[in-house]
Structure 1
């Protein structure tokens, strides 16, 4: 592949003069311009747009770090980001991580090398302190409450909606409950928010034997119900991290001639509307739109959206 130095050598002009022609700058004689353009065409030279953008400080790539994309949270968030990006002239680059800290650190190093204008972390395996350390190299937006860390953030305030949902279940006189979560880990802000709200309402910690992480789909909900019913045949209430997951739980009960359980879903999916399952709307699409806007900003910002418990 031809380089700018090849053009300079073949045309007989300096690299600086060739660069001026390539970047449509002034101070190049018509004769020099014609000669250089003839060599460019002869060599079929194609400019390196990334290198050119970096030289002018015009990188147009926004990286979105996703652990996976098979949960409505990430789908809705990404849809909001893409919607905001369409008319902006910026490119959205998906960066899969599976919560692998080594991979996430590599993305941060790419931000340091100016491969990205900004990074949006939909979720992360690295500590917030590590993300904070890299904010010196470019805008970083996390999608959770950063607490004392100086990181721009756009997040849903989930706790009041969780409290409303658990209080609703308490009024229904629920005494035992399956908790189906995305990550069954103290490192997960969602896990912490759910278990904290549960303890406030029921004055005890949830039963660890009735908690399952890794829930992403209808099939996951179906198999989780099978597992929990085997342990606790009388279990008839589930708090889930997605409406489709709740629908899977419901279907297992129906398929095995069990009474439909009391369910709470999340994300306001079509399944909650069709099956009339109470749900929690975290407004992730709008959150994604705002995350993109903050990513383009050079200023530290904290934006909070209020989650909403919806009784169908």
Structure 2
């Protein structure tokens, strides 16, 4: 691949003169410009846009760290980010992580090397304290409450909606509740928020035998219902982390001639509307839009959106 030095050598002009032509700058004579452009065409030279941007102290890449995309949380968040990015002139680069800390650290090192203007962590396996250390190299936005860590954040305040949901279940005489959540890790902020809300309403910890992690889809909900009904045949109430997951639970009960359970979903998906299920709207599309806006800013910001418990 030809370089700027190849153009200078073949045209007989200096590297600085070639650079001025490539960057459409002034102070280049017409004969020199014509000769250099002829060599550029002859060599089929294509400028390295990343190197050029860095030479001007600019970068147009916003990295979005995404553990996976097969859950409505990540889909809605990413849709909001893409919507905000469309007219910004910036490129959104998806960075898959599967919560692998080594992979996430590599993305942070790329921010340090100026490969990205900013990073948006939709979720993460690496500690918030580590993210905070890298904010000296560029803007980092996390999508959870950063607590005492000095990290820009855009997140949904979920606890009041979780409390309202469990109070609804308690009012409907729910005795045992299957909890279907996304991550298996007890340190997951969502897992902590859900179990704390449960304890406040029912004055006890949820039954660990009725808690299932790794829920992402309709099929996962169906399998989880099978697993929980085998443990507790009379289980008739589920709090899930997605409306499609709740729909999967419902379908298992229908397919096995079991009473339709009391269900609560999340994310305000089409399935909650069609099946008339209670759901929780975390406003993730709007949150994604705001996360991108904060990523482009040069100062620390923390923005909170209030989740809503919605009855059909």
- Within 5 Å, which residues of 2 pair with 1:1-312? 1-312=1-312
- Deviation, 1:26, is 1.1
Find the aligned partners of 1:187 and 1:170 in 2 and give their Cα distance. Answer: 26
- SS of the residue 1:246 aligns to: helix
Deviates more, 1:54-63 or 1:143-152: 54-63
Find the aligned partners of 1:227 and 1:40 in 2 and give their Cα distance. Answer: 66
The alignment covers a number of residue pairs equal to 312
Structure 2 residue ranges without an equivalent (≥5): none
What TM-score, normalized to structure 1?
Answer: 0.99
Give yes or no for contact 1:54–1:114 (8 Å, CA) kept in 2.
yes
- Aligned-residue CA RMSD (Å): 0.6
Give yes or no for contact 1:118–1:296 (8 Å, CA) kept in 2.
yes
Give yes or no for contact 1:20–1:26 (8 Å, CA) kept in 2.
yes
- Deviation, 1:260, is 0.2
Find the aligned partners of 2:111 and 2:271 in 1 and give their Cα distance. Answer: 39
Give yes or no for contact 1:184–1:211 (8 Å, CA) kept in 2.
no
Find the aligned partners of 1:208 and 1:283 in 2 and give their Cα distance. Answer: 29
Find the aligned partners of 1:118 and 1:213 in 2 and give their Cα distance. Answer: 31
Find the aligned partners of 1:238 and 1:174 in 2 and give their Cα distance. Answer: 9
Find the aligned partners of 2:183 and 2:29 in 1 and give their Cα distance. Answer: 65
Per-residue deviation, residues 57-77 of structure 1 (Å, max 9, x unmatched)? 221110000000000000000
Give yes or no for contact 1:265–1:277 (8 Å, CA) kept in 2.
yes
Per-residue deviation, residues 255-290 of structure 1 (Å, max 9, x unmatched)? 000000000000000000000110000000000000
Find the aligned partners of 2:163 and 2:187 in 1 and give their Cα distance. Answer: 21
Find the aligned partners of 1:98 and 1:254 in 2 and give their Cα distance. Answer: 33
Question: Which runs of at least 4 in structure 1 moved beyond 4 Å after TM superposition?
Answer: none
Find the aligned partners of 2:145 and 2:186 in 1 and give their Cα distance. Answer: 15
- SS of the residue 1:220 aligns to: helix
Find the aligned partners of 1:242 and 1:97 in 2 and give their Cα distance. Answer: 22
Find the aligned partners of 2:46 and 2:175 in 1 and give their Cα distance. Answer: 68
- Deviation, 1:184, is 2.5
- SS of the residue 2:216 aligns to: coil
Find the aligned partners of 2:249 and 2:32 in 1 and give their Cα distance. Answer: 73
